[in-house]
Structure 1
């Protein structure tokens, strides 16, 4: 196995292990909510003026799929829609009090997982962090270019 394959396999392996380790605790604490719902809630809380287009681009989903997801979240009372006084065309989303509770549970669990894994990150030098972040940024840009070449960039429906 060459270096590139080892890196990709390593990233995939770490991702799968994290999912496996975190899954039971997340599912128990957030029972009744799908992963997509919880991550949509997280995005809405962390990004001002979230709308269908921004959500679709971030999650690499169609606007139709995001519309269904946000409708479901509104029916569950987790998000609400609003419009700005200067732009009555665009619809934005924000969390309700109930949505903020789900967000807090999710954030607390991530904090717990961060504490669990902290010992590994404390051993990494700034230079090592810099190299890893540089690699991730370059590889991400390469993949964005490949997606664009294939004409798979997110399009408005």
Structure 2
């Protein structure tokens, strides 16, 4: 196995471990809410004037899938929709008080996980962080270019 394969395999393995380790606590603390719903809630809280298109692009989901999720969130009274006076066509979302409770639970869990993993990150030098970030940014730009080259429209997939 060459280094490229090792890096990709280790990225997947690391991501899977992190997901598995966090999964049980997340599911227990956020009962009744699917991961995709919580990620929509997170995006809506952190981004002004969130709409279906922006959510789809950010979460790498189709607009159809996001529409279904937002309908569920509206029904659960976790988000509310609104329109701007100057644009009656576009529908935007913001969190309700109940939605903010879910958001805060999710944020607290992320904080807890960050605290759990702090010891390892404290050992990483600034130079190592910079190298990792540079690689991740380059790889991400490469994948963006590949997506564009293949004509993949994330919004309509």
Confirm or deny a common fold (TM above 0.5).
yes
Which residue in the other structure is 1:121 paired with?
Answer: 121
User: What are the equivalent positions in structure 2 for 1:38-49 lying under 5 Å apart?
Assistant: 38-49=38-49
Aligned positions, number? 157
Which residue in the other structure is 2:12 paired with?
Answer: 12
TM-score, scaled to structure 1: 0.96
User: What are the equivalent positions in structure 2 for 1:86-105 lying under 5 Å apart?
Assistant: 86-105=86-105
Let me know the Cα RMSD of the aligned residues.
1.2
Which residue in the other structure is 1:110 paired with?
Answer: 110
Give distance in 1, aligned partners of 2:60 and 2:21.
25
Unaligned runs of 5+ in 1: none
Unaligned runs of 5+ in 2: none
Where 2:50 maps in the other structure, the secondary structure is coil
Give distance in 2, aligned partners of 1:31 and 1:49.
27
Query: Contact (CA 8 Å) 2:79, 2:96: kept in 1 or not?
Result: yes
Which residue in the other structure is 1:33 paired with?
Answer: 33
Deviations 1:21-49 (A, max 9, x none): 11111000000000000111001001111
Give distance in 1, aligned partners of 2:74 and 2:42.
15
Give the deviation of 1:153 after TM superposition: 2.5
